[in-house]
Structure formats: C-alpha cells, structure tokens
Chain A
Amino acid sequence: MRTTRTAMALLASLSIVAAACGDDKEAASTTAAETTVAVTTADTAAPETTAGETTDTATPDTTGGDVDYMWTPNADLLAGAEGQLNVVAWAGYAEDGSTDPAYDWVTPFEKMTSCSVNVKTGASSDEMVQLMQSGEYDGVSASGDATQRLIAGDEVVAIDTAEYSSYADIFDGLKLQPWNSVDGKPYGIPHGRGANLLVYNTEAFADAAPDSWSVMFEPGSPADGAVSVYDSAIYIADAAVYLMATQPDLGITDPYALDQTQFDAAIKLLNDQKALTSQYWGDYTVQQSSLENGDVLAGTTWQVIVNLAQANGAKIDAVKPVEGATGWSDTWMLSSKAANPNCMKLWMDWIASPWANSQVAVWFGEAPSNAKSCDLDGMAEHCATFHASDDAYWKDVWYWTTATEECLDGRTDVKCVPYTEWVDAWTALRS
C-alpha cells in the first residue's frame, strides 16, 4: 500500500503547487487592477496633471516627479482605454528603464493612461509583417518596407489626425510620404528616421578609420573574416548601394529598383562577401556581444547597438560611409484588428510627442520626427548630429522600401525583381 499513499501524497503536493500558482496570480492581478482603477480615476479627473503626481500613492515613483512629459492624453481615448496594448516594435523603441533606468518612456505612459504596454521586438520588417498578419497585435513601428505591405494587406488602417495632438508638430518632410499614406490619407504617425551605419573596431582600424563600405565587401581590410552582416533580404539593397558607387556601368539609380542584371550583380557581391563574414545577425544583441568581445571588427549596424556596446566598453565607432547608406523612416501604425485601439492610439500620440520622441531618438540614435523635440534642453545638438531637419542629408540615405516588379525608379523598359524574389535569393544565399 505504500505506493498508494506516496502517490497520493505526490498528487497532493502537485496540486498545492498548482493552487499556489493560482492564488499568486489572482493576488497579483487584483493589486494590478486596483492600481489601475486608482490611476484611471485620478487621470480622468485631472488629465492635465502629470503622471508623477497622481500615482505616487500607488507605487513609488522612480522616474522623478519633476519631469515635464509635455503630453496630455486625449480625454476621449483615455475614457475608453482598455488597460493594455500589444505592440510590435523595433528594439529600443519602447524602453521601460530595464536596460538603463535613465531611459524610460513606457512607465510614464502606463501611469498616465493605465495602459500596460506589452512589447514584442521584431528583428526585421519581414517578421513585423508576419506578426501583424496574425492580427494579435494592436500596432507596429513599421519601416517603409513593411508599411506598404501592411497597407496593401489591410493589416493597418488610416488614422484620424484629429485624435493625435502630436501630429501637428511632425516635420513636414515626414508627413504624407509614399510609405505612410495613400491618396493623401495618413496611415500612421511618423516616428523618426536614421541610417544603417558602418561600425568598426577603433583598435583594429587604428591606422585609418574607414569611411567606405569597402571594408565589408573587399578582402584584405583589417576586418577581413570578422565582418557582421544584417541577416535579412533587405540587406541586398546595401550591396546595391555599394555597387552604385563602385560599378556605375550597372546603372543602378535606386537600390530598391534592380532589374535582373543588377540584382544578379548584387547577389554575386554578397556571395563573395561570405568569405569575409563571420556573422549574420538577426537579433541586435548578437551583434552587440560580438562587438564587445572583439569577434566582429566591422559590420552594418544601428546606432543603438553602437551606443549599447560602447557603454559596455567596446572600442568601436560608427560612420555613414561615403557611398551613402540604406536607412529607415518609421511610422507607428494602428492595426485594423486592434483589440485595444484606444490604448494604441494613445501610445502613438505619446511616442510622437516632444518629450517621449526625444527620449527614443536619443536612445536609439536617430532623428526625431517631432520638430518640438529639438527645442528641448540638450536636444539641439542631437538634432544637428542626426540631421533631423536637414533634408539634404537624407539624399543619399535610401529608406527601406519594398521592391516591386514595376521599377520604383520609373524605368518602364525593364521589369524589376520583386521583393519576394529577394527573399528567395537571400534564403538560397544563406543556405
């Protein structure tokens, strides 16, 4: 009979574990709900007060109550706030202070709106499109190559700019662009823009800092065999940018409008590049740790990765090479199947408001979209460095765009290689 008793004892202990789990969760959610209610009422009653003051009683405020967040939630949206939202975002677009306590624009938002933010980090535009297709997310920070697919697939909806107090202050150069509007109707709130940079190890390149993508494509540089490449089909455009400068005979005028010959040349370049490459990075942390470890001496990168790695002591620097670069201009979009549309709209308004927008711009290392961001203390320098209002600077930055069969550069005599074939070619290249 011992088996019986022991078996029962075990089952009992298991159920105790499970019960404990259950109790915990209930307790946790109850407290959460209580907090939420408290904050909501406080905010609805006096929407003009800032978060720091209203929520001190519920939770100790670690961000400091004296910060002026320069944003007032839209009262109508706030009244209908669902309590949470699920967003797909680029790494570093929704920081809650867990990476660096000084950078937290999620917590103030949560306090002001009672919308708790669940972030799913997308590693590439492709992945973001897939995640949005699932209909499980309320919105996305989409780059230009994702926006067109999202709009065409009815994953996102046009926005009513009246609901967004921040929209008026967005740089005109970012509004109603081909990648974020259809027939003059805006499909989201511009977030900011930046260029994909060349990162290099300052010690390995102690003699001469590189200023050309050639260190990633030509053998013999100090980074030969230690090159880090972004693992996405869109990287084919980076090869095309390099070819624009080095093989003018090919006649490439737009790295996203490649006919078959030009495309084949880019693929050949990328195949040759394999010999120099030690890493294809999808997750930004992979490249970050390799930069710190010195496994990677040159690569294509985002400013935020450089910042993070430098903070950990990596001896690196980044530059926009002479050939120009690919880049992005991102737009926050609202899902057509959003389960929490009000919270999402509030978030979109918040992230484009001067304070939050300046925070994310500094953190990620990109140009803000809100003109007023540049008026904040210490932001003028950042806006100058990242050419926030300098449209000339962006001439040789090729924003990520989805290649289509109809050539984007206006050529009608040839057909261009559509993006789906870019993906196939990239898969073949990587396998």
Chain B
Amino acid sequence: MGGCLDRTPVLIDANEGGKAAGPSPPFRPAGPFRRINRAFFGRRRLGVASTLGLPLLWMLGVYVGSLLLLMVSSLYELDSVTQKPSNTLTLANLSDAFTNPSVIWVMVRTTMLALGVTIICFLIALPVSFFISKIAWRRARRGLVVAMLMPLWAGYLVKGYAWRAMVAPAGGRFAANGKGGGGFLESTFGWTPGYGRAAIVITLVYFWLPYMVLPIYAGIERLSPSLLDAAGDLGAKPFRTFRTVMLPLLLPAVAAGSIFTFSLTLGDYIVPQLVNNGKEKFMFGTLINSTLGAPNQPLAAAYTLWPLLIVVFYLFAMKRLGAFENL
C-alpha cells in the first residue's frame, strides 16, 4: 500500500511558500560554514548520521534498550523469601503471563474496554469534526477546533479528578450528617453513574476524545470539497457520499486517532483509582501495578509484554493504514 499519499493530493501551501521565500536573503559568502558545507556536500551518509544519529542513539539506547532489559528481567525467578529477582533463569513468569486464564481474562476485558472507548470516541469525533469543518460558520471554525483541543491541556489528573467530583454518588441511607451530598451530576440531575465501570469509560472517553477529533478534523479539512461535490453531482445521497467517499479517505486519520484512544486506555491504572472507589475489578494496568507492588518485578515485567505486543501489533496495522502520516 502506498499510504495516504497516493490518495490525498499534496497541496502546496501558497502562503507558506510565499512567506518563506519572501525576504530575499543576502547571499554573502558563508565563511566558517563553508568547509562544513563542503564536507557534507553530496555525502548522504554523513548527512544522515549527523542528523539522525543523536535522536536514534537516544531512542535506541534509552528506550528500546530499556524495553529489552525489561523483557530480560522477566526471565528471572523471584526469590520467594526476599521477593527480589534471583539469578536463576526461568520461563515460569512468561508462561504465567500467557497461559494463566485469569490473566488472559483481565487482558481480554481490558482490550474490549479499550476498543469500546475507541469506538465511542470515533462516534463522537466524526460528526463533530464534520460539523466544524464543513458546516460551522467559517469564522467560528478555528475557534471551535481550539475549543475542542484546549481540555487536552488541563492535565490528566486534573481531568480525572474533575470526573471524580462529577460522578460522586449520593450517600447511602446511613450517611453521616452533611456527607454524601453527591457530586455535580447527582445534585443537579438526580442521576449519576456513580463510581465504577461506567464512570471509568466516561472518564477515558473524556480524556482521549481530543486525540480523535484532531486527526479526523485535519483529515476532513484535507478532503477536496470538489470530491464531495462530485459525489453529490453524480447523485449520491449524503450518507452514501459519507460511506463511499469520505470514510475510506478518512481511515488513516481515524487510525491515527485510535492509536491514542486504544493504547492509552490499555495500560491505564490511575482512572480506576480515581473514579472506582475499590468497586470494579482489575484493569490490566492495575494488575501490572499491583504485581509490581507484590513485589514481583519479574512477573510484572512478563505481564507488560501483553500490552507491549498488542500495541506494537496495533501500530503495525495502523501504519499500514497510513496512520503515521496523520499523527
């Protein structure tokens, strides 16, 4: 697959180009840079090494190295007395991670939750981005997009905490005086999902929604209006235009958005603490975190392979859909 480049026309931003070329630079001899320029001239490898070398070294050394070390650490047996990794190698942690039914069940449950959150985000983001991009008053568009994105900046914990305050349930029959008034939803509408699974889903959707809106909006903006008009002229009803023209073209954008909604949900363990109050069962992030605190570092390391593999696999799939050009 050629990615999205084949399908979306490359538009050269006239403003951009004009602006950059605008001030004509004074061309005096470059002096000390000259020798460096000459050294680089025509030497592709040197160019690649000098620009890519540092970031590549950092990412491989710090990050990929750490991931590999993590995998290695999952191969050590836990000393049952000191609860520290011993020097004995074992496959028991890996086999527990991948064959223990209760672990697999937690993983499946969490993956479903992540998919659910992704789908809900998509269902909200698509019409909203479409409205902003195509229908809203032209002058309001920018403002609307910015309004959609701003909550991203409010801070992960701040937002999670906000939902804790939103969904706080009313107290029981035996609540203390003045306690258990309930959060905003309970007090205002007399209804709240309370702490638990529903609150977790709502909070996660709330967190990741802007990540979905942004690429989809950008994707719709990139669609040539003539394309939609053409579909209309050829007699396609709006829904059909949407399904056969827009959706396929938007797929890479959706894929890009889903990377965040899916994978960030997959490992989350803080939201369950914020809006759960010890009610809902484990999410996979909680399982990893509590195993690490058991303390059983090797087993926790083995458990992290699950989200690691799923996300890497997911990324490869999304890459094929051209998501990376839309991040």
Assess the B174–A204 pair: CB atoms within 8 A.
Answer: yes
Of the candidates B102, B105, B273, B292, the one having the most CB atoms from chain A within 10 angstroms of its own CB is B102
Assess the B84–A153 pair: CB atoms within 8 A.
Answer: yes
Q: Mark A274-305, 1 if CB is under 8 A from B, else 0.
A: 00001111110011011011110100000000
Given contacts A124-B293, A126-B293, A130-B293, contact A293 B83 (CB under 8 A): no
A429 (CB) vs chain B CBs: closest residue: B102
Q: Does B255 contact A (CB under 8 A)?
A: no
Assess the A149–B176 pair: CB atoms within 8 A.
Answer: no
Assess the A286–B278 pair: CB atoms within 8 A.
Answer: yes
Whole-angstrom CA separation of A126 from B180 in the bound complex: 32
Q: B interface vs A, CB < 8 Å?
A: 19, 22-23, 78-84, 100, 102-103, 105-106, 169, 171-180, 273, 277-279, 281-282, 287, 290-296
With a CB–CB cut-off of 8 A, which chain A residues contact B105? 431
Q: Does A26 contact B (CB under 8 A)?
A: no
Whole-angstrom CA separation of A12 from B290 in the bound complex: 44
Which one of A69-77, A308-316, A344-352 contacts B? Answer: A308-316
Q: Does A129 contact B (CB under 8 A)?
A: yes
Q: Does A133 contact B (CB under 8 A)?
A: yes
With a CB–CB cut-off of 8 A, which chain B residues contact A314? 176, 179
Assess the B176–A126 pair: CB atoms within 8 A.
Answer: no
Given contacts A130-B295, A226-B172, A294-B174, contact A282 B278 (CB under 8 A): yes
How near does chain B come to A123, taking the closest CB pair, in angstroms? Answer: 8
Assess the A313–B178 pair: CB atoms within 8 A.
Answer: yes
Within 8 A of B (CB), among A169-204: 201, 203-204
Assess the A294–B293 pair: CB atoms within 8 A.
Answer: no
Whole-angstrom CA separation of A423 from B297 in the bound complex: 13
Partner of A126, one of B277, B279, B294: B294
How near does chain A come to B9, taking the closest CB pair, in angstroms? Answer: 25
Assess the B84–A427 pair: CB atoms within 8 A.
Answer: no
Q: Does A163 contact B (CB under 8 A)?
A: no
Assess the A427–B291 pair: CB atoms within 8 A.
Answer: yes
The range of chain A's interface size is 35 or more
Majority secondary structure, B binding face = loop
Assess the A418–B19 pair: CB atoms within 8 A.
Answer: no
A149 (CB) vs chain B CBs: closest residue: B83
How near does chain A come to B269, taking the closest CB pair, in angstroms? Answer: 12
With a CB–CB cut-off of 8 A, which chain A residues contact B83? 129, 133, 149, 153, 420
Assess the B278–A420 pair: CB atoms within 8 A.
Answer: no
Assess the B175–A292 pair: CB atoms within 8 A.
Answer: yes
How near does chain B come to A184, taking the closest CB pair, in angstroms? Answer: 21
Whole-angstrom CA separation of A294 from B295 in the bound complex: 33
Assess the B278–A294 pair: CB atoms within 8 A.
Answer: no
Assess the B282–A430 pair: CB atoms within 8 A.
Answer: yes
Partner of B180, one of A152, A280, A292, A420: A292
Assess the B293–A313 pair: CB atoms within 8 A.
Answer: no
Within 8 A of B (CB), among A114-163: 124, 126-127, 129-130, 133, 149, 152-154
Q: Does A396 contact B (CB under 8 A)?
A: no
